[in-house]
Amino acid sequence: MEDLFVIGGKTLKSRFFLGTGKFESKEAMRQAIIRSGAQVVTVALRRIDLEQTEENILSFIPEEIVLMVNTSGARNAQEAIRIARIAREAGYGNWVKIEVINDSRYLLPDNQETIKATEVLSAEGFVVLPYMHPDLYAAKALAKAGAAAIMPLGSLIGSNQGLKMKTLIEVLIEEIEEIPIIVDAGIGRPSHAAEAMEMGADAVLVNTAVAAAKDPVLMACAFAGGVEAGRMAFLAGPGHVRTTASASSPLTGFLFNE
């Protein structure tokens, strides 16, 4: 049986979401998307530089890929709402990653403002995926507000530290049953992605670890493999962790038994 992931009215085969920031080459980004099989990618919206003509990033993203507009740069709910509306009005779909950040050193998300933006945008028909600090009450509020999924941070954005928030994310996986959980931010190695999926996360979003790798295309493929392996392990049902040994071979019938 095929293991499909349904979210925002889309049925996805890949549980590996890719961010498009920080790639040195847009062509490498395009190859990373294609070769890894990612079906959802994030992009951001910014004022253009009037002194410079830039390449259009959208021309490097295959048409069938779901664009998820990140509200990065928003410092409160109102600014996030504005970005989402502009993107949709301009014809770029209705998937939005709500990212509301006030703190420039740690880039931690503001859960309160994120909840407010989620309420408004969900009511307007957006597919809302909020980036959030893994707090159970905030997660419940986001689910109630109509989020299509929640995206708790694994660790600080771009830090490659992995699942520093592991225990709290496990709580969300255990307690939030109504919507999927996508681990976002800080995932630095394919093993981190596999670990998140083994825990029961529904998907993983990675950007920096792929974009900043020596070979981003190969790293994207490695992450896709990690996500797939972790997902299969979760479905297969990992064994319990024990404090003592448990023999893999029977402890009877030894050749040297008296």
Partner 1 sequence: MIITVNGRTMDAAEQMMLSDLLLSCNVKPGVVIVVVNEMVVKQAMWSETKIADGDSIELVSFIGGG
Give the footprint of partner 1 on this chain (CB under 8 A).
19-23, 26, 29, 42-48, 50, 53-54, 56-58, 69-70, 72, 82, 86-87, 89-92, 157-158, 185, 205, 207-208, 211
Q: Which is nearer to partner 1, 46 or 240 (CB)?
A: 46
Asked if 72 contacts 42 with a C-beta cutoff of 8 angstroms, the reply is no
Strands 182-184 and 151-152: unpaired
Smallest distance, partner 1 to C-beta of residue 70, A: 5
Query: Is 140 annotated as catalytic?
Result: no
Smallest distance, partner 1 to C-beta of residue 38, A: 13
Q: Which two tokens stand for residue 9?
A: 């009215």
Asked if 84 contacts 119 with a C-beta cutoff of 8 angstroms, the reply is no
The residue type found at 7 is I
What are the DSSP calls for 91-156, one per residue?
Answer: TS-SEEEE-BB--TTT--B-HHHHHHHHHHHHHTT-EEEEEE---HHHHHHHHHTT-S-BEEBSSS
Q: Which is nearer to partner 1, 58 or 232 (CB)?
A: 58
Annotated catalytic residue, options 97, 116, 164, 166: 97
Q: Which is nearer to partner 1, 57 or 171 (CB)?
A: 57
Smallest distance, partner 1 to C-beta of residue 237, A: 32
Q: Which is nearer to partner 1, 146 or 158 (CB)?
A: 158
Smallest distance, partner 1 to C-beta of residue 45, A: 5
Instruction: Show which residues are catalytic.
Output: 97
